[in-house]
């Protein structure tokens, strides 16, 4: 009888836990709580650093695959081939939620057993990626490829409502993971084939109604920023997509977002000027959608260099002063460190080649593009890959090493201008070749912008395609990254490879980690399969998930 009562109590406890929704106020700037991964980046900072250290540099040899979940029965997706997991799974109350375009999966985090699967029938849009769901209380939020913003019940995957947020017929598409800040669901859009205008929206988590919309280009001539455009037509067809989740500082009450390249993409002749606020890092008030400051890593972009790479928030001491900082490794090939209160620049430095598309930096620390290095009819070469030196893959910052980590590519690239008319449209050009392309894992000194160490794959980097994963650092003195079909662990201080595990494909998302029942899990997606790894053959020591946040 006593046993039965205990069982009932536990069952009730489990049910209670299950029914307990995610309170956005429980999400911290730094650190997911040990048994959670409540946002795309795990916390609001985008550091992708975990205090967990049950899995650590001393026992990494014991890290083994615990379970695998393979996506089955979906087959090739329109225009892109077999399913690829680019989303970082959310973990709440022992359930993982992850996505591919048109699909959401809910899986038992301890076993890999599927609870439910949600399928959406799209009528257009790109299936190039899906970054994941957002969660608020008992609800999930998801973007379909063709511009639907959908709320679902987390318990069942049943749809609650949907709202149209972008028109796929105009070539918008929607892939990002919603970011939930207080009672705001913040969602962005993608699409640069047809010179549409980028925007970021905040919507009510209960009703889906619009709270605010912030356009990435000014509204009318004469408004601040319009001086960087020749006319209204160019400004309203100027691009600047918002296709990656941003970060948030609760104390400053600012969200930080990267905006995409300007349009027409390679043909800049009809949009002379810096083209604000495309290819920027912007700080907005999440309650009003008002711009507080901006910094532009690729002014007047003509190379398709979306500046959507995660703006990572961290605190560090600079010249004896404790500072609130933001760092970004930009697709334009430069590394930036800013004061996240003011947007004032601390570091601007090319990490690949010499940054020869720019003639230097302006007073704000922003690169000054060299018109001679814009795409030309007979090709213009720059000393970095034409399509960019890094991309959306999540970077990481460790407060233990005070280094910023990302996957970057070096080499040379030729870019061409095709549409020479005074009113070009669409891409209007393209990248025509990449030479001596080498992908590496970079560790940056955040005070100087110097490369502290760099790890190039033993095969010579072999192009950029094999280094397609995001990164994770942990207090176990580990840095996790994917390389050509393997998951690797590195010493974050030196870049020495410590451990590797072959998977069935290239790591395709950002690895994440959390603790359940005293066991630390490492979660990583590779193509159509999600892997959970744990320490095998050894009872984990108790209480080693506690450590002070430096």
Partner 1 sequence: MNMREFLGLGPAPNPELAKKGEPLYLQNCSGCHGKDARGAQAPGLTRMPLVVSDYKGENMLPALKEGRTGMPAFPQLSKEDVLNISQWLQLQVELAANRGTYGGTYGNLRNQVTGDPKKGETFFAANCTTCHSATGDLAKVGAKFPQVAQLKNRFLWPTTPGPAKAKVTTADGKIVEGRVKANNDFEISLTDAQGNYHYFQRQAVKVEIEDKLTGHRALLPKYSDADINNMAAYLVNLK
Binding site for partner 1 (CB under 8 A): 78-81, 122, 124-128, 145-146, 167-171, 173, 193-196, 233, 237, 372, 376-381, 383, 412, 414, 416, 418-421, 423, 425-428, 430, 432-436, 457-460, 483-484, 486, 488, 497, 500
Residue number with CB closer to partner 1 (227 or 233): 233
To partner 1, the closest distance from the beta carbon of 487 in angstroms equals 12
Residue number with CB closer to partner 1 (66 or 410): 410
Quick one: which of 272, 412, 275, 265 has its CA closest to 333?
Answer: 412
Residue number with CB closer to partner 1 (128 or 368): 128
Residue number with CB closer to partner 1 (415 or 512): 415
How many beta carbons lie within 10 A of that of residue 186, not counting itself?
27
CB 39 within 8 A of CB 27: yes
CB 117 within 8 A of CB 157: yes
Residues designated as active site:
304
CB 175 within 8 A of CB 244: no
Mind spelling out the 3-state secondary structure of 306-329?
CCCCCCEEEEEEECCEEEEEEEEE
Q: How many residues would you count in the chain?
A: 550
Mind spelling out the 3-state secondary structure of 52-99?
CCCCCCCCHHHEEEEEEEECCCCCCECCCECCCCCCCCEEECCEEEEE
To partner 1, the closest distance from the beta carbon of 435 in angstroms equals 4
Quick one: which of 6, 103, 226, 14 has its CA closest to 528?
Answer: 103
Residue number with CB closer to partner 1 (249 or 486): 486
To partner 1, the closest distance from the beta carbon of 412 in angstroms equals 5
CA torsion 245-248-253-257 (nearest 10°) is -40
To partner 1, the closest distance from the beta carbon of 458 in angstroms equals 5
Quick one: which of 333, 307, 471 has its CA closest to 403?
Answer: 471
CA distance 254 to 247: 9
| Residue 146 CB-density burial (10 A; 0-12 exposed, 13-18 middle, 19+ buried) | buried
Residue number with CB closer to partner 1 (195 or 445): 195
To partner 1, the closest distance from the beta carbon of 462 in angstroms equals 8
To partner 1, the closest distance from the beta carbon of 20 in angstroms equals 39
């Amino acid at each position: 009888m006593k046993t039965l009562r205990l069982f009932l109590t536990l069952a009730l406890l489990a049910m209670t836990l299950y029914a307990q929704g995610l309170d956005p106020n429980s999400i911290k700037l730094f650190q997911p709580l040990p048994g959670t991964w409540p946002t795309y980046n795990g916390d609001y900072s985008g550091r992708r650093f975990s205090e967990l250290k049950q899995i650590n540099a001393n026992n990494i040899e014991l890290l083994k695959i615990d379970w695998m979940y393979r996506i089955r029965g979906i087959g090739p997706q329109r225009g892109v081939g077999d399913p690829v997991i680019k989303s970082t799974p959310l973990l709440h109350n022992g359930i993982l939620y992850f996505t591919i375009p048109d699909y959401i999966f809910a899986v038992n985090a301890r076993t890999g057993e599927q609870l439910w699967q949600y399928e959406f029938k799209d009528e257009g849009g790109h299936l190039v990626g899906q970054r994941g769901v957002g969660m608020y209380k008992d609800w999930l939020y998801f973007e379909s490829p063709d511009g639907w913003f959908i709320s679902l019940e987390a318990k069942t995957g049943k749809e609650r409502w949907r709202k149209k947020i972008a028109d796929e017929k105009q070539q918008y598409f929607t892939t990002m993971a919603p970011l939930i800040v207080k009672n705001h669901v913040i969602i962005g859009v993608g699409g640069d084939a047809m010179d549409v205008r980028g925007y970021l929206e905040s919507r009510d988590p209960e009703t889906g109604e619009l709270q605010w919309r912030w356009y990435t280009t000014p509204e009318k001539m004469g408004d601040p920023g319009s001086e960087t455009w020749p006319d209204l037509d160019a400004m309203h067809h100027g691009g600047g997509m918002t296709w990656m989740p941003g970060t948030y500082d609760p104390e400053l009450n600012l969200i930080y977002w990267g905006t995409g390249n300007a349009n027409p993409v390679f043909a800049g002749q009809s949009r002379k000027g810096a083209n604000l606020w495309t290819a920027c890092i912007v700080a907005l008030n999440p309650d009003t959608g008002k711009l507080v400051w901006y910094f532009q890593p690729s002014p007047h972009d003509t190379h398709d260099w979306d500046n959507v790479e995660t703006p990572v928030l961290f605190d560090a001491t600079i010249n004896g002063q404790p500072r609130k900082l933001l760092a970004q490794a930009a697709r334009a090939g430069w590394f930036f460190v800013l004061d996240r209160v003011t947007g004032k620049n601390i570091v601007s430095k090319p990490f690949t080649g010499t940054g020869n598309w720019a003639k230097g930096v302006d007073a704000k620390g922003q690169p000054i593009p060299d018109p001679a290095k814009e795409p030309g009819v007979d090709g213009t070469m720059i000393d970095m890959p034409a399509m960019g030196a890094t991309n959306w893959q999540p970077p990481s910052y460790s407060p233990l090493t005070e280094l910023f980590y990302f996957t970057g590519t070096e080499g040379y690239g030729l870019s061409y201008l095709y549409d020479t008319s005074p009113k070009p449209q669409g891409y209007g050009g393209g990248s025509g070749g990449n030479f001596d392309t080498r992908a590496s894992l970079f560790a940056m000194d955040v005070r100087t912008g110097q490369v502290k160490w760099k790890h190039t794959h033993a095969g010579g980097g072999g192009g950029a395609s094999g280094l397609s994963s995001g990164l994770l650092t942990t207090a176990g003195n580990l840095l996790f990254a994917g390389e050509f079909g393997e998951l690797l662990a590195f010493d974050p201080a030196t870049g020495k490879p410590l451990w590797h595990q072959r998977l069935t494909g290239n790591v395709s998302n950002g690895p994440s980690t959390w603790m359940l029942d005293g066991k630390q899990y490492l979660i990583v997606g590779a193509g159509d399969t999600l892997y959970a790894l744990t320490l095998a053959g050894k009872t984990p020591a108790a209480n080693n998930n506690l450590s002070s946040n430096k």
